[in-house]
Structure 1
């Protein structure tokens, strides 16, 4: 069984989403003896932004190495049985590095296709777990819930390619003082520790 672990935070060792995503991977590894793990740090080696060459339109304005990297990312995703993503909220949405990765895996004919009855996801059967960190409070009961575009966006994206129920662990309020940060981390780590093994 193959697990793909992705982190997108730019904060390195200070990152809450990295802490939680690592705990998720550790929990799954402990419960699965044959788990093969690959790791990609999207902040350390960010994909280039999407260009016309990536979707076969217009002049080829992407370098061969960039196209090869995009293909490698798609191949990694397609080969994975489980995908674990560390996804912090930056300015109400996902980091640009994570968006660039998503642009490499949302590929017509590979992870989705258009049919007469509408789009059809082709990447079903994968387990996706997302560790989300948010500086403030943006949950459904929060007055700021309409500003939340990480969890909602990722649920939409993965449903579109055939993964309708990604598991989301949220560390919320990490910038609301030291106590708030610790409580957010503790709650998220507790959820990670109770994840069902692969």
Structure 2
């Protein structure tokens, strides 16, 4: 039995382009993998601490700074919650990330989640055989699968605005840093071609149904 994290980053809960495709992916996945555990993380409705002054003071400690026992109760709660989030990500075998594109980027809650899972010693570490990756660091999450489902009103995967695609490229770069390959399903161009929006969505849904069966 595998564990799949289904991560949604949208203030709405249904009836958006990204969520509609994501829901069909999940339905098809459950049918193809009935024994797998699926955990839904709704980032807009979960306890997701931001990196703030309290958490920054914890980075690199010990040996410098206050010990965990010396922190305030609020700081302890944040540190524990951040550890729970990264441990949950590490334990998952597969991850699906579903989000819209806003202003050519990902929603802020998804960036906050990514900050929570990029943790030295948990998801990346130092390479043993010379310098690799970013300053000799190496991802520790090889073998995990990630599917990224993204909706954008503008076509970003190719064409005129390709150099303004900062959403999937960010997810892909971070996951590569962690040692993970990413697959992508894009629902794009719905604002540019509103008369074709339903067709664009349906094409992405069919792609998602096929991909889920093999994921």
Verify same fold: TM over 0.5.
yes
Q: Corresponding residue for 1:17?
A: 18
Give the whole-Å Cα distance in 1 for the aligned partners of 2:151 and 2:57: 33
Aligned-pair CA distance for 1:34: 1.1
Is the counterpart of residue 137 in structure 1 residue 164 in structure 2? no
- Give the one of 84, 107, 112 matched to 2:124: 112
Q: Corresponding residue for 2:165?
A: 148
Give the whole-Å Cα distance in 2 for the aligned partners of 1:53 and 1:167: 35
Q: How does 1:123-134 map to 2 (within 5 A)?
A: 123-134=141-152
Q: Corresponding residue for 2:199?
A: 183
Give the whole-Å Cα distance in 2 for the aligned partners of 1:130 and 1:103: 17
Determine if contact 1:21/1:130 at 8 Å carries over to the other structure: no
Aligned-pair CA distance for 1:197: 3.0
Determine if contact 1:27/1:193 at 8 Å carries over to the other structure: yes
Q: Deviation digits for residues 17-41 of structure 1, max 9, x if unmatched?
A: 1111222121111111211011110
- Give the one of 55, 59, 66 matched to 1:55: 59
Aligned-pair CA distance for 1:149: 0.6
Determine if contact 1:46/1:97 at 8 Å carries over to the other structure: no
Q: Corresponding residue for 1:88?
A: 100
Q: Corresponding residue for 1:28?
A: 29
SS of match in other structure, 1:25: helix
Aligned-pair CA distance for 1:16: 1.6
SS of match in other structure, 1:43: helix
Q: Corresponding residue for 1:8?
A: 9
Larger Rg computed on CA atoms: 2
In structure 2, stretches of 5+ residues that fail to align are: none
